[in-house]
Amino acid sequence: MNETITMDTTARPQRAAGNWATRGIVAAGRGLALFGLTLYALGLWAVLLIAVALAPLGIGLPLVAGTLRANRRLAARVRRLSGDWCGIAIPASYLPEPAGDRRGFWARFGSLITDQGTWRDLLWTGTDILVGGLLTLIPASLVAWGLFGVVMPAVWHPIVAAHGNNWYAFIHVTSASTAWLAVALGVAVLALGLATAPWFLRRYGAFARAVLAPPTTA
């Protein structure tokens, strides 16, 4: 059966109210949530590799099918969040499930394996681990690093007293004066993370659409 079932999603971006800092905090938090999905994708790939290794013994085939379906559910969640959080709708296109007396395991497994949507989902989770993870984690990392600089006056002395080599970027923090220099740099890094978080979130949505969206001929 060559017919496909295509589902389109309308972008419904949930924009955070408030100033740029509030929007940045929300976007960075959403990025962290999406990074959690990236870690889940990494786990699915590990399970899939184990299942494929066990496939010649026969016991791995049900696990392969179950993992591919879990991967499909993950892709569906990414599509929904891309519309809700990034403002970028991502349509989905899959072959219909075998109906009637063709709903046996091999019919369902064959439909799953030959579906181009299945391979798009696998391509997405593979590239998301490499690219999507960076796009979602960079803003939160900048915010966390900036906050560390902001609290440097309260933490520098215990670190130095413990003979720690306390560097904040290019500032060697060994005194109160250098700790306050770290504060100034930390504020700048924090502002950079908050200001760029919405941009990184939109880039994540654009990247997801580029990989997950079916061809226009699907």
5-9, 51-55, 62-66: which has the minimum mean pLDDT?
Answer: 5-9
Cα–Cα dist 20/17, whole Å: 9
Listed residue (72, 96, 115, 84) closest to 9, CA to CA: 84
Cα–Cα dist 141/32, whole Å: 10
11-45 tens-digit pLDDT = 555 555 569 899 999 999 999 999 999 999 999 99
> Tokens 């079916």 correspond to what residue?
214
Identify the bridge partners of residue 168 per DSSP, sorted by sequence position.
171
Listed residue (213, 201, 184, 14) closest to 116, CA to CA: 213
100-121 tens-digit pLDDT = 555 677 788 888 898 999 999 9
Domain ranges for the chain: 5-137+201-212
Q: Do residues 77 and 128 lie in contact, with contact meaning Cβ atoms separated by under 8 Å? A: no
Q: Do residues 210 and 39 lie in contact, with contact meaning Cβ atoms separated by under 8 Å? A: no
Cα–Cα dist 142/196, whole Å: 10
